[in-house]
A = this chain, B = another copy of it.
Amino acid sequence: MEGPTVPVITFLSDYGPWDEFVGVCHAVIARRAPRARIVDLGHGIARGDVRGGALALRAALPYAPAGVHLAVVDPGVGGERRAVALRLAGDGRTLVGPDNGLLTLAAETLGGVLDAVDIGDSPECLRPISATFHGRDVFAPVAAALADGAAIDGLGEPVEAADLVTLSLPQADVDDGALTAHVLSTDVYGNVSLDAGGELAAAAGLRTGDSLLVEFDGGATAARLGRAFSDVAPGELVVYVDGRGALALALNGGSAATELGLEVDDELVLRAR
């Protein structure tokens, strides 16, 4: 029961569930690429949180079929930032979005950028191009054109891959049995995701089941290195490897971020007690 392959466009944004922005982008895609299937990766990124969007995109894309990957978290819309399409090495994915670092973490993970073009004035754009809704007028129509088979070279002027905007992330470190890590992101439940994975915890000599001391700006607290929330009693802290593969801190039945007053980029030191 084979049929022709259906092109896939994944879509991630900070447009949220309240306005018609996501739906209008879907409508634009449905007109330009009626056969394409849209896979919404999520639209609940905090408004303008480019790094949060970049981390979510990097976490999600390896699970998606190769296709066109549209992402819009774009606080600089209407300003000087470029709009780009990036063709990746590896399995032939194309990323479409603003050139503000949103795409580059995923691009690195998935093979690196082969070609980049500036799509801000692409022939595929809907005109007049509004100053505030490039999702509709620039990114969605270009993504749809790519899914419909358009060649990336025809969509705009080449950009040097080395000139793309990248994000600088904090760097976790192991020293003398202590893991120094930083808050990369927090989710709506107050779970705190760090810039270290299970292998760095192991390198620091931390083992599942260990009782840990977690030092942070403002204090220190006990936690257990576990596998899931259920490894600690309600009200207790667990350090575990989260769904993104990152070491994370959670409070069973509460918000670790609120309880410890943690924010993005805060530093934590974890060691066995």
Residues on A facing B (Cβ under 8 Å):
1, 3-6, 8, 10, 12, 16-24, 26-28, 30-31, 34-35, 37, 39-44, 47, 56, 59-61, 63-65, 76-79, 126, 130-133, 136, 187-189, 227-231, 240-243, 245
Contact = CB atoms under 8 A, between A and B. Distances in A.
Given A30-B39, A76-B230, A189 B47 contact: yes
B43 A136 contact: no
A28 to B, nearest CB: 5
B60 A20 contact: yes
Copies in the complex: 3
A12 B23 CA distance: 9
Contacts of A17: 16-17, 42-44
**Most-contacted residue by chain B among A20, A22, A126, A229 (CB, 10 A):** A20
Nearest to A17: B17
B3 A18 contact: no
B63 A131 contact: no
A34 B63 CA distance: 13
A126 B63 CA distance: 10
A160 to B, nearest CB: 25
A81 to B, nearest CB: 9
Given A23-B40, A187-B18, A28 B63 contact: yes
Contact of A42 (B10, B19, B60): B19
B242 A132 contact: yes
Given A24-B59, A79-B230, A228-B131, A34 B5 contact: yes
**Most-contacted residue by chain B among A12, A65, A242, A245 (CB, 10 A):** A65
Contacts of A6: 34-35
Given A131-B227, A242-B132, A63 B18 contact: no
A136 B243 contact: yes
Given A5-B34, A79-B228, A136-B243, A60 B18 contact: no
28 contacts: A1-B35, A3-B35, A12-B20, A17-B43, A18-B187, A18-B188, A19-B42, A19-B44, A22-B42, A23-B40, A23-B60, A24-B63, A24-B243, A26-B39, A27-B39, A27-B61, A27-B65, A30-B65, A31-B65, A47-B189, A76-B230, A77-B230, A78-B229, A78-B230, A130-B245, A131-B228, A132-B229, A133-B243
Given A20-B12, A24-B63, A78 B228 contact: yes
Contact of A188 (B16, B30, B31, B63): B16
A42 B40 CA distance: 13
